[in-house]
Amino acid sequence: MITSVYNLYLLFMPRKWSLSIVNRGFTYVGLFLALLISFFSFFAEVTFWQEFESRFNFIAVDYLIYTYEVVNNINESYPLPLLIGGVLVLVLIVMWLFQKFNLFRLSFQSEMPFRQRLILSVFLILITLSFPILLSNSYAESGTNRYANELSKAGIYSFFSAFKNNELNYNDFYSLLPDAEAYRLMRAELHEQHSEFLNQGKSISRRIQNNGRYYKPNVIMITVESLSADFMQHFGNTQNLMPQLDSAADQGLLFTNMYATGTRTVRGMEALTLSVPPTPGSSIVRRQDNQNLTTVGYIFQKAGYTRTFYYGGDGYFDNMNEYFGSNGLVDRGRNLKISDTYQTRRSVIPDSVVHFENAWGISDGDLLEEVIRGADRDHASGKPFYDFVMTTSNHRPFTFPAVKIKGSPGSREAAVRYTDYAIGTFLREIQSKPWYKNTVVIVVADHCAGSAGKNEISISKYHIPCLILNLPEKRTGKIDQMCSQIDLYPTLFGILGWKYESNLYGQNVLDPTFQPRAVLGTYQKLAYLRNDSLVILGPQQKVETFIYRKSDDSQISNKLSSSVIKQAEANYQTAYDLFKHGGMRQ
């Protein structure tokens, strides 16, 4: 980057500036920064290799995300002032050598005409741009010796490759089982009473034959930003933050023991659309080659539903437009697709009906009003509809329209109250609609409001509420079994008596064969919780085992049976393998 900027500077610099102080200053500063980055990255690679035996990968990208923790860790692990001082000394020595041997002479005294500079600059820029286009970092992974593969890479190039691909190679850094054993264990876990696997080998594809009466209702899922379970009175809250949802929970089906798979919106979207455990790195929503996957939206598509993704913010953020538009989650045949504040929304939602918006987009109330208008249009078309709605108001800066709720904008508690108010208003308004009696409404969190706790993965920080309202035959009650966000739709399809082909890791919680478990993760650590047995997988083939005590959210280090560890490995290993090698495609 620095050399490209300097290249352009030299191209457009007037020749009369060659010997000027400006040119000398710009050149010295550019060289200083280039040398500083080069020396720093060299020593950073050495220490990174000592810990991970790898060139830079997504763990290095992760270090930029958790800057506070990483800087403190480095400061405690290494003599940082000495290291930085040493790097600066080396940079200054090299610059002194440049000056001593008069290596700046050509730069400061060049009389090259603009045309020649243009040809040279274009040539150098084309070479620079060709590298990321023509050369993939994976080309260095063709050998059988991992150390040789890693040594053949360039550290900085590997860093940007990891940033671009948003993933960490599971097979290189995590504990592995033989592929055949991993898939055998996974298929055994996924086997349900009325299911039949369609393929042998590396596949979890199966035909689900749910018994019972068949229903085909409209489905509206409101995915609430940062909604922790402990915001609701049902889970012990005493502030009365969500009276509307607490009241609705008594009139529908409430999951009392559901856990999110991650701590970011895109991770929740991944779980609710793909029904897959979280794999290392970022969510599949943000990765390359994530088109035409067997999503929940694809199942609705095959059942004849129109599908719409409603989001009041910028749909380019976190690659949402591309992901939802290419995975059966948006009906390409309709005008209303993705509600996008900065592009599509203004052509879909008139300014006259938008009462409030902030940096994240329009308010939850305005967004849900648009969902109602869209449902009216869908109902008029005569086709059932499936809507994925993503709210934003319960997100910093926590601002919202002036409505009669306790608290003023700017605080988390007030934003939670507003979101509850908006959803309550929505639920009341739709009851007068002709399509309401045949419409199931889901309210579920994308993730909790915070993830930091006394443990690296604090289980309580993944506990989310989930409500299914207005089910056929007015079904109500509670599901107290521990389950995961990925189990929501398989359970709903079971209740509705659907027969469908599934490539999902989620299971019907109400099936007699269901074994309670949850899958949770950060960018690096992957957790598998079965009953009170907790397995955490990490880089360097690290496997940690604990007994989890829910009463105080404690994790007590303890040796677990190999069967639980293998089941954890099977979940994450097969999920990574299927996505990486196209096994999740339609």
Kindly report the CATH number assigned to the domain that includes residue 362: 3.40.720.10
Say if residue 325 is in the same domain as residue 366: yes
Looking at every residue in the chain, the average pLDDT score rounds to 87
* Contact status, residue 202 vs residue 182, Cβ threshold 8 Å: no
* Contact status, residue 128 vs residue 4, Cβ threshold 8 Å: yes
Where is pLDDT greater, at 296 or 159? 296
Say if residue 365 is in the same domain as residue 493: yes
Question: Which segment of 82-91, 255-264, 469-478, 505-514 scores lowest on mean pLDDT?
Answer: 82-91
Q: Write down the pLDDT at residue 335.
A: 33
Examine residue 175 and state whether it is found in any structural domain, yes or no.
no
| pLDDT at residue 345 tops 60 | no
Beta bridge partners of 484: 259
Q: Write down the pLDDT at residue 315.
A: 78
Count of domains observed in the chain: 2
Examine residue 171 and state whether it is found in any structural domain, yes or no.
no
Say if residue 465 is in the same domain as residue 556: yes
Query: What is the C-alpha to C-alpha distance for residues 150 and 464, in angstroms, rounded to an integer?
Result: 40
Quickly tell me which residue has 């005409």 as its tokens. 113
Examine residue 172 and state whether it is found in any structural domain, yes or no.
no
* Contact status, residue 390 vs residue 310, Cβ threshold 8 Å: yes
Q: Write down the pLDDT at residue 143.
A: 66
Examine residue 585 and state whether it is found in any structural domain, yes or no.
no
Quickly tell me which residue has 């592995």 as its tokens. 176
Q: Provide the 10 A C-beta neighbour count for residue 55.
A: 24
Question: Which segment of 11-15, 95-99, 223-227, 254-258 scores lowest on mean pLDDT?
Answer: 11-15
Query: What is the C-alpha to C-alpha distance for residues 313 and 304, in angstroms, rounded to an integer?
Result: 28
Say if residue 390 is in the same domain as residue 477: yes
Backbone angles phi, psi at 534, to 5 degrees: -120, 125
Q: Write down the pLDDT at residue 146.
A: 57
Question: Which segment of 25-39, 45-59, 309-323, 569-583 scores lowest on mean pLDDT?
Answer: 45-59
Say if residue 376 is in the same domain as residue 502: yes
Query: What is the C-alpha to C-alpha distance for residues 90 and 168, in angstroms, rounded to an integer?
Result: 33
Say if residue 126 is in the same domain as residue 269: no
Query: What is the C-alpha to C-alpha distance for residues 15 and 334, in angstroms, rounded to an integer?
Result: 58
Say if residue 153 is in the same domain as residue 284: no
Encoded tokens for 14: 């007037």
H or E element, residue 246: helix 243-249
Q: Provide the 10 A C-beta neighbour count for residue 231.
A: 29
User: Which of the given ranges, 74-78, 152-156, 219-223, has the highest pLDDT on average?
Assistant: 219-223
Question: Which segment of 100-109, 122-131, 297-306, 400-409 scores lowest on mean pLDDT?
Answer: 100-109
| pLDDT at residue 455 tops 90 | no
- With a pLDDT cut of 70, the percent of the chain lying above it is 87
Encoded tokens for 440: 């199931």
Examine residue 174 and state whether it is found in any structural domain, yes or no.
no
Sign of CA dihedral 43, 48, 50, 55: negative
Where is pLDDT greater, at 212 or 431? 431
Encoded tokens for 148: 């040789």
Averaged pLDDT for residues 470-491:
97
Per-residue pLDDT reduced to its tens digit, 91-104? 999 989 988 887 77
Examine residue 170 and state whether it is found in any structural domain, yes or no.
no
CA-wise closest residue to 41 among 99, 91, 109, 112: 91
Say if residue 134 is in the same domain as residue 186: no
* Contact status, residue 358 vs residue 190, Cβ threshold 8 Å: no
Residue 556 class from Cβ within 10 Å (0-12 exposed, 13-18 middle, 19+ buried)?
exposed
Query: What is the C-alpha to C-alpha distance for residues 542 and 528, in angstroms, rounded to an integer?
Result: 14
H or E element, residue 340: none
Strands 385-390 and 218-224: what pairing? parallel
Sequence-distant (6+) residues with CB within 8 A of 575 are 276, 277, 279, 505
Query: What is the C-alpha to C-alpha distance for residues 128 and 139, in angstroms, rounded to an integer?
Result: 18
Question: Which segment of 167-171, 424-428, 505-509 scores lowest on mean pLDDT?
Answer: 167-171
Residue 431 class from Cβ within 10 Å (0-12 exposed, 13-18 middle, 19+ buried)?
exposed
Encoded tokens for 302: 């095959």
Query: What is the C-alpha to C-alpha distance for residues 207 and 185, in angstroms, rounded to an integer?
Result: 18
| DSSP letter (8 states) at residue 101 | T
Query: What is the C-alpha to C-alpha distance for residues 476 and 469, in angstroms, rounded to an integer?
Result: 8
Say if residue 293 is in the same domain as residue 160: no
Query: What is the C-alpha to C-alpha distance for residues 320 and 213, in angstroms, rounded to an integer?
Result: 35
Q: Write down the pLDDT at residue 53.
A: 64
Examine residue 446 and state whether it is found in any structural domain, yes or no.
yes
Q: Write down the pLDDT at residue 340.
A: 40
* Contact status, residue 447 vs residue 268, Cβ threshold 8 Å: yes
CA-wise closest residue to 10 among 88, 82, 108: 108
* Contact status, residue 216 vs residue 444, Cβ threshold 8 Å: no
Say if residue 428 is in the same domain as residue 334: yes
Q: Write down the pLDDT at residue 546.
A: 97
Say if residue 239 is in the same domain as residue 334: yes
H or E element, residue 54: none
Q: What is the 3-state secondary structure (H, E, C) of 469-514?
A: ECCHHHCCEEECCCEEHHHHHHHHHHHCCCEEEECCCCCCCCCCCC
Say if residue 50 is in the same domain as residue 196: no
Beta bridge partners of 499: 209
Examine residue 370 and state whether it is found in any structural domain, yes or no.
yes
Domain of 532 in residue numbering reads as 181-209+218-580
Q: Provide the 10 A C-beta neighbour count for residue 42.
A: 13
Residue type, 182: A
Report in angstroms the alpha-carbon separations of 67 from 70, 71, 234.
5, 6, 36
